[in-house]
Amino acid sequence: MKLSNNQEGSVLITALIMIAVLLILFLSAFSYGIARYGVHVKNHHATQAMYLAESGINRFVHLLNTYDRDLKSTMKDSVHSEIEGVGKYFVSARPYGGYLLLRSEGISGSQKKVRYALLGALQRSLTDNALTVLDSRFPIVATGRTRINGDIYSAHIQLTTGQIDGKGIIDKIFHSGRRVIVDSISSPYKQFTVINDYIHYVYQNLEPNAHKVSTSMQITTDDSYFDDKTVLSIHGNLELNDFSIRRNVDPLTIIVSGFVEIKGKSNIQGLVEIISEKFIRISDSSVYSGGILFAEDSILIKDNSYFSAQAITQHVLNITDLCEIAYPSLLLADNNSLSDRGDYSIRISTSIPVNANILYISSDTLRQRDNEVLKIDSNATVIGVVYSSDYIDLHGNVDGSVIANNFKFEIPPTTYINWLKDVRINRYALDYTPILPITYHDSANYRVILTRSFNE
């Protein structure tokens, strides 16, 4: 009975528990404060890592533009630097379609940031003009409602007006700006081997380590097939239907021996490169942004699709049916192959303005190729640079710069060389400096087209 009345011990325990609770409260508050401090330190390192990654890209471009003009050796060696008490950066480069892809890692403390940059070349001497005509044999003749706003560089001394089908000049003053006669204007893409280097890079460095599939594939929305892959080689065709993917940090390369169909509102964004030995077709309001499409045969973009990437082919490239082509797209036909196929062309027939640089390159001048052409339809408007090392069949509008060996305007059986009919070229409407695919010229001035940052 006496024992049960003795409650002094329980008070002691209660007090000790209370003290322990207070101690825990105190420690948790203290650790919360330390955690907050840690978050701020982490944020600081993340900021510094981002600046370091950007510094790496700046230094790489600076090296290319100053001492080290040997692009290939610079790409092999990479660039890295360690800044005492701050962190370090590491930059590597690889061919990426017509451009270079720089990958810069900035590391500060425990934080690592990856920054990608697409590097092109500035060809200011050509792209500052509204019109540059390389062929010195024929004069430039303007007819119909032709209007050129900006400077004209021409190898031929004569710039005149004429008539086709009896239709004369509506506006006699068809040209505003300087007119410069240059004896010989050299084409920047006479020795254009960048695309070949890109394909060699893919097949030599990426393909041997590819995950190989020996059948055709159809991939739809819920398929996470690509999640753990960076290089995939498919022996067959590839159909992507209502399929979505976004690759930011690790590029995804898909090499297909057959054709590729991207349809059913597929949405492909980021560093996704698709290389087909046949054709690639994008349709059904699909989106393709940030990557590369390379097809040996042809690329067709149609049915309200959205495209903001590089489309490179060795034969036919068609943009049609209200497709939207957004900056900084590159549409390139590199007719460098030894194929005997007859038709080589780029054709732009969408009525939505095409925001892209369009290049038609034909380095093989030994053969007659009557069918090869870069054609811009009368309902089309291109915002950017239109370049052809051969001729252009120009009917639409260009807000930017047109560079061509010459122009052809055909009303069978007559072919008018260097005649421009109902054409509008307005250099002043392009409010940015166009950056073109790289060349290995000594005079190349490299510039960053766009950058993207990611956490890793």
Partner 1 sequence: MNSEILKNEQGFTIVEVLVGAFIFMLGFSVLIFMLSQLMVNYSVDEISTANRIAQNNLEMVIVSHDTISQNLVVIQSNVKYSVMKRVTVSDNLAKVNVEVKRHSKEKILCRLYYEFAIPAE
411 makes contact with partner 1 (CB under 8 A):
no
Q: Does 18 bind partner 1 (CB under 8 A)?
A: yes
Q: Which of 42, 62, 235, 246 binds partner 1 (CB under 8 A)?
A: 62
Looking up tokens 């492909």 gives: 268
Q: Which of 370, 397, 367 has its CA nearest to residue 384?
A: 397
Alpha carbon distance 383, 308 (integer Å): 13
Q: Does 66 bind partner 1 (CB under 8 A)?
A: yes
Single residue of 68, 80, 86, 320 touching partner 1 by CB under 8 A: 86
The residue from 4, 6, 22, 109 that contacts partner 1 (CB under 8 A) is 22
Q: What long-range pairs does 351-354 form, CB within 8 A, spacing at least 24? A: 351/322, 351/379, 351/380, 352/322, 352/323, 352/324, 352/325, 353/381, 353/382, 353/383, 353/399, 354/319, 354/325, 354/329, 354/380, 354/381, 354/382, 354/383, 354/384
Instruction: Look at the block and give the residue holding tokens 């943009």.
Output: 319
What's the closest the beta carbon of residue 80 comes to partner 1, in angstroms? 13
Q: Which of 5, 8, 73, 442 binds partner 1 (CB under 8 A)?
A: 8
* Closest distance to partner 1 from the beta carbon of 250 (Å): 26
41/180 with CB nearer partner 1:
41
Residue 341: partners with Cβ closer than 8 Å, 6 or more residues away: 315
- Specify the residue, 46 or 101, whose C-beta has the smaller distance to partner 1: 46
Query: How far apart are alpha carbons 361 and 322 in whole angstroms?
Result: 26
Closest among 244, 246, 284, 282 to 264, alpha carbons compared? 284
Please report which helix (H) or strand (E) contains residue 333, including its range: strand 324-334
Pairing of strands 397-411, 414-417: antiparallel
Minimum CB distance to partner 1, residue 359 (Å):
26
Q: Can residue 90 be called a binding residue for partner 1 (CB under 8 A)?
A: no
Judged by beta carbon, residue 59 or residue 145, the one nearer partner 1 is 59
**Which stretch in 19-27, 136-144, 145-153, 250-258 sits in contact with partner 1 by CB under 8 A?**
19-27
Regarding 30 and contact with partner 1 (CB under 8 A), the answer is: yes
Closer residue to partner 1 in complex, CB, 33/236: 33
Tell me the site size for partner 1, rule CB under 8 A.
37
With CB under 8 A as the contact rule, the residue among 29, 180, 322, 411 that binds partner 1 is 29
Residues whose CB is less than 8 angstroms from the CB of residue 177 and which lie 6 or more positions away in sequence, other chains included: 130, 148, 149, 150, 151, 152, 427
Of 42, 72, 82, 83, the residue at the interface with partner 1 (CB under 8 A) is: 83
- Chosen residue from 6, 25, 186, 382 binding partner 1 by CB under 8 A: 25
Residue 389 in contact with residue 363, Cβ under 8 Å? yes
Is 168 an interacting residue with respect to partner 1 (CB under 8 A)? no
Query: What residues between 39 and 58 interact with partner 1 by CB under 8 A?
Result: 40-41, 43-44, 47-48, 51-52, 54-55, 58
Look at residue 232 and give its three-state secondary structure.
strand
- Whole-angstrom Cα distance, residue 266 to residue 246? 11
Q: Does 78 bind partner 1 (CB under 8 A)?
A: no
Residue 372 CB contacts under 8 Å (≥ 6 apart), including other chains: 335, 343, 344, 345, 360, 362, 390
Residues 207-246 that bind partner 1 (CB under 8 A): none
Please report the DSSP string for 32-85 in residue order: HHHHHHHHHHHHHHHHHHHHHHHHHHHHHHHHHHTT---HHHHHHH-EEEEETT
The three-class DSSP label of residue 256 is: strand
| 433: contact with partner 1 by CB under 8 A | no
Asked whether position 36 contacts partner 1 by CB under 8 A, the answer is yes
**Shortest distance, position 430 Cβ to partner 1, whole Å:** 19
**Virtual torsion, Cα 400, 406, 409, 412, nearest 10 deg:** -160
Distance in Å, CB of 339 to partner 1, minimum = 42
Q: Which stretch, 15-23, 186-194, 215-223, 341-349, contacts partner 1 (CB under 8 A)?
A: 15-23
Question: How many alpha carbons lie under 13 Å from residue 273 in its C-beta half-sphere?
Answer: 24
What is the Cα–Cα distance from 201 to 196, expressed in whole angstroms? Answer: 8
Q: Which is nearer to partner 1, 54 or 372 (CB)?
A: 54
Near partner 1 by CB under 8 A: residue from 4, 85, 338, 368: 85
Q: Min. distance of Cβ 23 from partner 1 in angstroms?
A: 8
**In terms of CB distance, is 49 or 382 closer to partner 1?**
49
Binding segment toward partner 1, per CB under 8 A, in 83-91, 250-258, 263-271, 356-364: 83-91
Q: Which residues bind partner 1 (CB under 8 A)?
A: 8, 11-12, 15, 18-19, 22-23, 25-26, 29-30, 33-34, 36-37, 40-41, 43-44, 47-48, 51-52, 54-55, 58-59, 61-62, 65-67, 83, 85-87
